[in-house]
Structure 1
Amino acid sequence: MNPQPECHALESPCQEDIKPDALLLPEASSCPQFSGAGEYDNIKLIDDIDELTDVPSITDNWITARLNIAFKGLASIWYMEMKEIHGRRSWPLWKSQIIQKYSNGTWIWKKTMSFENEKYSVDKDPYVWCLRQSKRFKAIDPQMNIQMRNHKLLTQIPGEL
């Protein structure tokens, strides 16, 4: 009779230690990626991770342990420096740091100027134009309601409707 191998904390967890719903966790390779170079990468990263927080089997520790995988390029350097200064932090604290760093006043001002300078014209695909403007709304004011968004969109259409 062969005894079962002993489990060690530093090795992979034993099958008995894994909760059934934990087996449904996304692979580390499917974690959101963030370089800080994309126009709306910061919003996408936050939205993707916030979506994961709604899954009961995904803990804050699971999320924060994978942030080093999520950050790439200059964002990775920033993350490692922040982690060295502040240590391991919860997702809400990392989220506020990402907003502070990548959704700062200058970034919001640029999105506001982009919104105001891009008027709708008939040569543009209305769906693509509305989606682009919607991303800008979310950057400028994430709490903006649908009525205000519609009003602001209408101000960007020259002439009479």
Structure 2
Amino acid sequence: MIETRIKQAINTIKEDNKKALDDISKSFTEVKTHIIALKKCFDTSKEEISKLTIKLNEVISDNTKQTELWNELTYKEDDHKKNVITSIQSLQHELRNSQRCNNSKMNDIEQILNTLPRMSTPLNQNEGTGIPNTQVLDIENSQLKNEFSTSFHNLEPTMGQALLKEVPKLKEWPHFSGEGEHDHMSFIRGIDMIKEEFELPDRLVTARFNTLFTKSAHRWFKVETAFESSKFNADKDKALPWFCQQKDRLTALYCMSEFMIHRKILRQCGGDLEHAVKSRTTEQSSAEDIINILEEVTTRTRIGSSRVNFKAKFNTPWKDSVDKNPKESSNNV
């Protein structure tokens, strides 16, 4: 009996050990599969990290290139500004030297004129004119002073032409395209610098805008000048096409409310016509309302027309009595 029990216990122990070994082997296989999966995830993450590092290096290299280009551009811009300033200073120095030369020439001429003898009788070439020789010398002296005048604001035409030749050509002036983000600031500064250095009048600077404006800025300038030059004339223009064309120009140029667009267009009518239309409209009036009012005012009252004929008849009691009874009026007199 004891032996059988011992054998049964041994068998149960063996079975338990076998089950434990089977469980251990299963757990080892599961751990092995988990390790393989983790290895795959690590490999994929490693590849992604390597790709990200490559992209990051590319971005860093691009940024370095852009910074280098920006530094080059700023250096070139500073160099160009320095060259412009030096050229302008040299031109100013040349102008001052020319003024000094003219001053010295004028002083020499005055000294020569002062050393000339003062005759009491006129010369042969001045006979019959009745002008003494001293007055002739004074006139010549004043003419020479005017000829060699060195005041910059009171220059002679020849001197003004010489100074205008020193002004930079249009190719060297700053141009404005209207397509950059802040290029209008550099354009304004360049124009102001040239205007101040050469003391150019505003009329001469604005006359060059048609050439200095390029691309979209040139188109904007043409539309702006077309709007400003188009004044409403009741004899030539019709209200509907003129108003629509002006509105299209303003909407292409500015971002304004409809009320401000209408007010800006009515300013082109001018004077009495503008007042007549404004007094008949409100802020809520549409473009159709304004066009109808404009047509009504121009057709009925002829305001804004250059061919208005006023034929007023003034009937006074005195005139009526004279016209009706001329005999009675003469007898009373």
TM-score (norm 2): 0.21
The one of the two structures with greater contact order (alpha-carbon pairs below 8 A, sep at least 6) is 1
TM-score (norm 1): 0.40
